[in-house]
Amino acid sequence: MSHTAPIVKAMPTFSREEIVHLGDLARIALTDEEITRLQGELNVIADSINKVQEVASDDVPPTANPVPLEAYLRPDVAVTPLTQEEALSGAPKTEAGMFVAPRILGSEE
């Protein structure tokens, strides 16, 4: 049983008329320069798809990402949290059990 999608024979190149039609379908007004640029870009994409399809075979399994995606997380082990005093011990200035930081927004009037 094959795991690959059926190979589509050479994709056609996109004509100017097809680009204009796609713009109309998307309700996008395209200038002549945009049509020319998009025609080139879409044809490069179509050529790239053709190249991939040429080398795709039944012994190459389909994949969305060539690198296995795994979550590398440390084990979730419960530990005793710091006490308030331990958390504040390295602070340059504290007051009433809280960190004290300099005012950064100016005076309130």
Cα atoms found within 13 Å of the Cα of residue 45, Cβ hemisphere only: 7
- Residue range 9-57 in CATH 1.10.3470: no
pTM of the predicted structure, to 2 decimals: 0.44
Residues 6+ apart with CB under 8 A from 100: 91, 93, 94
Tens-level pLDDT at each residue, the chain (109 residues): 444 444 445 556 899 999 999 999 999 999 999 999 999 999 999 998 888 888 877 777 777 777 777 777 888 899 999 999 999 999 999 999 999 998 888 766 5
Q: Distance between CA 46 and CA 14 in Å, rounded?
A: 9
Nearest 5°: the CA angle 84, 106, 85 is: 5
